[in-house]
Amino acid sequence: SPPMDLQPSYNVTSVTEFILLGLTERWELQPVLFAVFLLAYAATVGGNMGILAAILVEPKLHTPMYFFLGNLSLLDIGCVSVTVPPMLARLLSHEQAVPFAACLSQLFFFHLLAGVDCFLLTAMAYDRFLAICRPLTYTTRMGRGVQGALVAASWACSLGNALTHTVALSTLDFCGPNVVNHFYCDLPPLFRLACSSTRLNELLLFALGVVMAGAPTVLIVTSYLHVAAAVLRIRSAEGRKKAFSTCSSHLAVVGIFYGAGIFSYMRLGSVEASDQSKGVGILNTVLSPMLNPLIYSLRNPDVQGALRRVFTGRRVSA
């Protein structure tokens, strides 16, 4: 390509669209991928809608923990809807071009919703800490106002993060090539295509990653260290099992979500890394939201009972 100083300064950002390669360039596999991801999308939306319905119909689930879980289900529906339907449309139409503005808006909404997820999982860990370690003051410390404030703060922090990344990316120069080796628009693959320096963007990604993932991880680990200490002090084995069973589902969701997120963003690397990041992207955007309803309903008789009532149409017995 010609040196930067020979390019006309008024035409540096000449890229008006990006070409998303998707999951595979083999056309014969695309109908299979379409069917698999359509089923995964339907299962994710259906499962999370089921959890929301269960929380609404079951009075036993009208607690702070399930208020946060209901919000998490809404976020999971949003997260999967930002990435999967556009990918399905591209698989169906064989049209891989995405306008620059559409790419930016997808990136913004993905980071907004995934960021709220981060903080909500932290709020859920704080809820478990209060319920197990501070049971006498739990109802006053986790009142309706506190629940609302935690959700509002989660949205505010995540909005700041998503806006910062989107605005910072929009200031970069893209003069070609415009082929993105991914199935949705995200920061690391787009950084590789910029003609101008991405040093500030990468610093922002790292610094905000510490705030968005590092701080919540520290808070979650701290909460669960206190929870583990409190559970170990319970004398009966049955009591210990009951106390920790309320945390195991949350810990499983946290492990999947943070594991995939940290692996994806804390290593900006080579083309091989970008191929790996497609797999991590599937875990982040499809598998994690799809597994959440399963994880929360698998070992919870209250959720299972409520789901049965939702699907059979039976009312709660007095």
Report pLDDT digits (tens) over 229-282. 988 888 888 878 877 777 888 888 888 888 777 776 655 544 455 566 677 778
Under 8 Å between Cβ of 96 and 179: no
Nearest Cα residue to 186 out of 114, 117, 92 = 114
Q: Which two tokens stand for residue 314?
A: 């039976």
Higher per-residue pLDDT: 67 or 177? 67
pLDDT bucket at 316, cuts 50 / 70 / 90? low
Q: How far apart are CA 71 and CA 74, in angstroms?
A: 5
Encode pLDDT of 86-102 as tens digits.
999 998 888 889 999 99
Higher per-residue pLDDT: 298 or 76? 76
Neighbours of 176 (CB within 10 A): 10
Q: How far apart are CA 310 and CA 299, in angstroms?
A: 18
Q: Hey, which residues does 179 pair with through a beta bridge?
A: 19
Rounded to the nearest 10 degrees, the angle between the axes of helix 100-133 and helix 215-232 is 20
Q: Give yes or no for residue 17 having a pLDDT over 60.
A: yes
Instruction: Decide: residue 130, CB within 10 A, 0-12 exposed, 13-18 middle, 19+ buried.
Output: buried
Q: How far apart are CA 227 and CA 221, in angstroms?
A: 10
What pLDDT sits at residue 89?
92
Q: What is the DSSP letter of 95?
A: -
Q: Which two tokens stand for residue 206?
A: 């790292």
Nearest Cα residue to 228 out of 150, 125, 136 = 125
> Across the beta sheet with 179-180, what order do the strands follow?
97-99, 17-20, 179-180
H or E element in which residue 97 lies: strand 97-99
What pLDDT sits at residue 4?
45
Q: Which two tokens stand for residue 169?
A: 């990316």
Q: Hey, which residues does 180 pair with through a beta bridge?
A: 20
Q: Which two tokens stand for residue 210?
A: 């510490």
Residue 236: φ, ψ to 5°: -85, 140
What pLDDT sits at residue 296?
81
Under 8 Å between Cβ of 72 and 121: yes
pLDDT bucket at 43, cuts 50 / 70 / 90? very high
On average, the pLDDT of the chain sits at 85
What pLDDT sits at residue 11?
44
User: What would the mean pLDDT of 14-27 be, rounded to a whole number?
Assistant: 82
What pLDDT sits at residue 295?
86
pLDDT bucket at 7, cuts 50 / 70 / 90? very low
What the chain holds in terms of domains, given with CATH numbers, is 17-310 (1.20.1070.10)
